[in-house]
Structure 1
Amino acid sequence: MEGKIIKGIAGFFYVSPNAGDQIYECKARGKFRNEKQTPLIGDIVKISTTNYEGSTKGDFLQGTIEEILPRQNQLLRPAVANVDQGIIVFSLSYPVMHLDLLDRFLVIMELSNIDSVIVLNKLDEAFGDKYKEIVNGYRLSGYKVICTSATDGDIDEIKALLKDKTSFFAGPSGVGKSTLLNAICPDFKLETGAVSQKIKRGKHTTRHTELLTLSFGGYVLDTPGFTSLKMDTIEPDLLQDYFIEFNQYKDKCKFNGCTHTHEPDCAVKLAVENGSIYKSRYQSYLNYFEELKNNKKW
């Protein structure tokens, strides 16, 4: 039987077949350990099942993972596979938005070959119209940006994006990821956490990674979040490949192999000057380039 791993706890993997609502509680064959392969949430697997009276344990039928099918993509932290898109959520009030962090998320998504959608939540609490510059900047960069409020906003556009896809929500604690998911699918009843009034930051409310089934089709990952946004696997000279707005300029620079940092007659720097590339994004690129270059020295 073929199915998708929707949850993993204490060495057990919970598999949802492609047809039907029954969940199978499975152990993985020892061969995966020998092959140094670990099943991940989101994996499509083949399982053998034990279908005789008394083969259930609690609410679950029992099975064994026999094969992990090839992955479309995967992330390490959180450890998930076969994701269609990442919904990157930031707040328009508290916690305060840090564009450096948003750009790190976007680079990781490009590195993992996962489409990104930016959702700016708490529109009802936004500080004036300053956020519109950010919205225009990221739309100019080629990303879809949705502004909403999880408590009383229009979430139909987000629901349409999630339909029949496997998606995950990422972003800092306290930006309203769980509140958004509850608004999208009230049956989830996810725990939500308030932002600390003292430090203006949120607290993690999700304790393990799990694929939740959307009532209108598709899956969404409820995850404790990204424990690492390191980019140290990227060579400095290749960082530009993960800033998608640079692509149209890379063959227009004077020098082959232009890093878009110090070289003269650089088409990317000219695009920044004339407003065709969002200046904040370019500054993030320069910061990351220096960071990666310094890391490689060690």
Structure 2
Amino acid sequence: MKTGRIIKSLSGVYRVDVDGEMFDTKPRGLFRKNKFSPIVGDVVDFEVENITEGYIQNVHTRKNELKRPPVSNVDHLIIVMSAIEPSFSTQLLDRFLVIAHSYHMRPRILVTKKDLLTTEEVHKITELLTIYEAMGYQTQFVGLEDDISAIFDAWGNGLAVLSGQSGVGKSTLLNHFFPELNIETQYISKSLNRGRHTTRHVELYERHNGFIADTPGFSALDFDHIQKEELKSYFVDIAEYGELCKFRDCNHIKEPKCNVKIELENNNIAQFRYDHYVQLYNEISNRKERY
């Protein structure tokens, strides 16, 4: 019996890394019977059938798990946004942050394509990132002239997952770090202002202090697993100031003696953050009513 981490899944075959040695494995029928599938990132025990193949017997307990894309045991979730093409959007960033927190992950923010901006545009995005840094988020704002190795090393040990919409530069970053991979990249559609899907499956690539995953770009964000009452806890600034609201179940919309509203007036919460919270709260509320 050997133990390793699944680094790639394709057509029912799971490639498992055991200290640099690769095995193509398949799950035992028991997994299908229990309607449970291993995913990339899982640590598994498997029986070796021959030199390079085996059958998965056991999947270790996951410390966390992303549903879309499916990847487990994530140490660092890197939300990749582009500065331009597609344009930087705090609304989209806030939605990614909500998804990350809903899966109990503390995300980092990486903004790419700095080299394509004017000095004034760089200053504007830097000011916005300062707001997120004040909330405790670690941010990076980079261009292709930057040391890609240093960018990756800053994340620390373990499995780092790059996540974000298509066209923001995830595959470009990986190509600079792993030139031999030659991961497909695509142009930005001018009509849609977003990239076409280029990465079609999750795969882990080894870096000297762990692994990094390139994941399929998102064309839509799924909030179906989030209840409207939970949303306030996924906006870290609103959650902090909401502790002092008069009513424990305050959702910071129309409730009286709401401390979040007070801190908003005092400019301790950015107006755009609160606006994004209300917009998403209403979307989730309307979705639940339809059901």
Question: Is TM > 0.5 for Structure 1 vs Structure 2?
Answer: yes
Aligned to 2:5: 4
- Cα deviation for residue 228 of structure 1 reads 4.8
Aligned to 1:177: 170
CA shift in 2, pair 1:157/1:285, >3 Å: farther
Moved more, 26-35 or 267-276: 267-276
The one of 285, 289, 293 aligned to 2:281 = 289
| Alpha-carbon distance between aligned partners in 1 of 2:265 and 2:275, rounded to the nearest angstrom | 12
Cα deviation, 1:59-98, whole Å, max 9, x if unaligned, reads: xx01000001100111111111111121111111211122
Cα deviation, 1:271-295, whole Å, max 9, x if unaligned, reads: 2222222221111110111111111
| Alpha-carbon distance between aligned partners in 2 of 1:286 and 1:28, rounded to the nearest angstrom | 44
Aligned to 2:270: 278
Flag structure 2 segments of 5+ consecutive residues without an equivalent: none
The one of 142, 150, 169 aligned to 1:148 = 142
How many residues matched? 286
- Cα deviation for residue 163 of structure 1 reads 4.0
What letter corresponds to residue 38 of structure 1 in structure 2?
Answer: S
What secondary structure, in the 3-state scheme, does the structure 1 residue paired with 2:53 have? strand
Tell whether 2:257 aligns with 1:265. yes
TM-score (norm 1): 0.90
What secondary structure, in the 3-state scheme, does the structure 2 residue paired with 1:211 have? strand
What secondary structure, in the 3-state scheme, does the structure 2 residue paired with 1:236 have? coil
| Alpha-carbon distance between aligned partners in 2 of 1:200 and 1:227, rounded to the nearest angstrom | 12
What secondary structure, in the 3-state scheme, does the structure 2 residue paired with 1:249 have? helix
CA shift in 2, pair 1:22/1:109, >3 Å: same
Tell whether 2:31 aligns with 1:38. no
Tell whether 2:57 aligns with 1:66. yes
Aligned to 1:97: 88
- Cα deviation for residue 44 of structure 1 reads 0.5
Moved more, 237-246 or 129-138: 129-138
What secondary structure, in the 3-state scheme, does the structure 2 residue paired with 1:186 have? coil
Q: Once the two structures are aligned, what percentage of the paired residues are identical?
A: 37
TM-score (norm 2): 0.92
Stretches of 4+ moved more than 4 A in 1?
Answer: none
Tell whether 2:199 aligns with 1:206. yes
| Alpha-carbon distance between aligned partners in 1 of 2:176 and 2:256, rounded to the nearest angstrom | 50
Aligned to 2:157: 164
| Alpha-carbon distance between aligned partners in 2 of 1:92 and 1:30, rounded to the nearest angstrom | 47
What root-mean-square deviation, in Å, do the aligned CA atoms of Structure 1 and Structure 2 show? 1.8
Contact map agreement 2:166 2:216 (CA 8 A) in 1:
no
Contact map agreement 1:5 1:45 (CA 8 A) in 2:
yes
Aligned to 2:27: 28
